[in-house]
Amino acid sequence: MAAIYNLFIINKSGGLIFYKDYGSAGRMDTNDSLRLASLWHSMHAISQQLSPTTGCFGIELLQADNFDLHCFQSLTGTKFFVVCEPGAQHMEGLLKVIYELYTDFVLKNPFYEMEMPIRCELFDIHLSQAIQKDRLVLLGR
Amino acid sequence: MQFFGGSAAADMTPSPAAPPGTATGLAGNNANMLYIFNRNGVCLLYREWHRPLHTLDAQQDQKLMFGLLFSLRSFTAKIDPTSVDKGNLGVPLFPGQGCSFYSFRTNTYKLSFMESPSGIKILHLTIDFIFLLFAKFVMRSTGVKSSSMIQHHPSSPSPLPESPDLDKFARSSVASCSISNEIYLFQFRTIHVLKYHFVT
């Protein structure tokens, strides 16, 4: 079973900098994932404009028939979002953990250029560990 | 199938005025908005109850809302991780085709969405204030155990803290009841609007 289907990280201008698939049914090609990322970026911005009150920071949770989408935006505008099973718990916590890993292993990497696609081995390793741990917690319950 | 085809000025019938005494006078931030669109993207009905912030004029606001719906629909249909054949992004979808969404939540409001098989889209936008009140009065209260039932009955001793805010809570929940009654009332009126729209 897969609680998480995919993970996207997009930079502050809507470009996809990281994408990982954890077992969704129809494989998406690179072009589609890029398009979806920039589409999400713009819808996130529109949802802020449509808010009936001030101080809106965009969509946090989108509930669809077959999945839930949890989104976390960091203060610098980098967005992390996971597509998971409907009703999956603790996704906000997982996104915070992923953000922490991003700051530790991507931003502190001297060879990483800001706003560019993430290619950091340590980040990949720790990310898969975090996701694995999350799955074990899910199986343990 | 035609999208964005209708012109709002020509197609729209004048919406009935909100009943007196319901549109104003609500304390706090409990905004409530209702949008109904037909399948061409024409806003058949727009009603608001206490909306503190207007960034755009009404027509632009409705256009933007329909645009958001349209894009979110194609987004959810494309990203759906359970189906294999997902089609192309941006191609108009028929009502009920592909994976759809039913609500999204931001830190300030929640939007609920329903699309009927004939393509009528009904949206209800609200501040998630019931949860806010729950958090404020129940979870912060020291007398409530997290797993125990919340006994909130007028005659029984309440575990909620006694405070003048509680009166406000009761009043606003009564007000929210009247809002939902009014929404049902509008559904009846909307049928007339829709009849006019499709028969003529």
**Mean model confidence pLDDT for chain B:** 67
* Residues contacting residue A130 through CB under 8 Å, at least 6 positions apart: A94, A97, A98, A101
A58 touches chain B (CB under 8 A): yes
Contacts of B97 in chain A (CB under 8 A): none
* Nearest Cβ partner for B80 among A53, A61, A66: A66
Q: Is B41 exposed, middle or buried (0-12, 13-18, 19+ CB in 10 A)?
A: buried
**Cβ pairs A/B, distance under 8 A:** 123
pLDDT digits (tens, 9 = 90+) for A58-77: 999 999 999 999 999 999 99
pLDDT digits (tens, 9 = 90+) for A11-34: 999 999 999 999 888 778 899 999
Provide the edge-to-edge strand list for the sheet that holds A4-10.
A16-21, A4-10, A79-84, A68-73, A59-64, B101-106, B110-115, B121-126, B32-37, B43-49
Contact A60 B100 (CB under 8 A): no
Residues facing residue B65 across a β-bridge: none
Enumerate residues 11 to 40 of chain A having a beta carbon within 8 A of any beta carbon in chain B.
24-26, 28, 32, 35-36, 39-40
CA-nearest residue to B102 within chain A is A64
pLDDT digits (tens, 9 = 90+) for B129-154: 555 555 555 555 555 444 444 444 44
The residue of A16, A30, A39, A41 whose CB has the most chain B CBs within 10 angstroms, and thus the best one to mutate to test that interface, is A39
Strand intervals (E) in chain B: 32-37, 43-49, 101-106, 110-115, 121-126
> Å from A5 to nearest chain B CA?
6
- Predicted confidence (pLDDT) at residue A37 exceeds the cutoff of 50: yes
Contact B75 A36 (CB under 8 A): yes
Q: Which long-range contacts (CB under 8 A, 24 or more apart) does A130-136 make?
A: A130/A94, A130/A97, A130/A98, A130/A101, A131/A4, A131/A7, A131/A22, A131/A94, A134/A3, A134/A4, A134/A90, A134/A94, A135/A2, A135/A3, A135/A4
Taking residues B173-183, what's their average pLDDT?
A: 45
B12 pLDDT tier (thresholds 50, 70, 90)? very low
- Say what percent of chain B tops pLDDT 70: 48
Contacts of A57 in chain B (CB under 8 A): 106-107
- Predicted confidence (pLDDT) at residue B21 exceeds the cutoff of 50: no
pLDDT digits (tens, 9 = 90+) for A81-137: 999 999 888 899 999 999 999 999 999 999 999 999 999 999 999 999 999 888 887
The residue of A4, A29, A53 whose CB has the most chain B CBs within 10 angstroms, and thus the best one to mutate to test that interface, is A53
How far is B29 from A137, CA to CA, in rounded Å? 38
How far is A72 from B35, CA to CA, in rounded Å? 27
- Higher pLDDT pick, B180 / A97: A97
A6 touches chain B (CB under 8 A): yes
Structural domains of chain A sorted by starting position, each given as residue range(s) with its CATH number in brackets: 4-140 (3.30.450.70)
Contact B107 A64 (CB under 8 A): no
Rounded to a whole number of angstroms, the distance between the first and last alpha carbons of chain A is: 13
Contact A46 B64 (CB under 8 A): yes
- Higher pLDDT pick, B87 / B78: B78
Structural domains of chain B sorted by starting position, each given as residue range(s) with its CATH number in brackets: 24-130+153-199 (3.30.450.70)
A82 touches chain B (CB under 8 A): no
> Global pTM?
0.73
How far is B112 from B121, CA to CA, in rounded Å? 11
- Predicted confidence (pLDDT) at residue B112 exceeds the cutoff of 80: yes
* Nearest Cβ partner for B68 among A5, A47, A83: A47
Closest by Cα among B43, B42, B62, B44 to B54:
B62
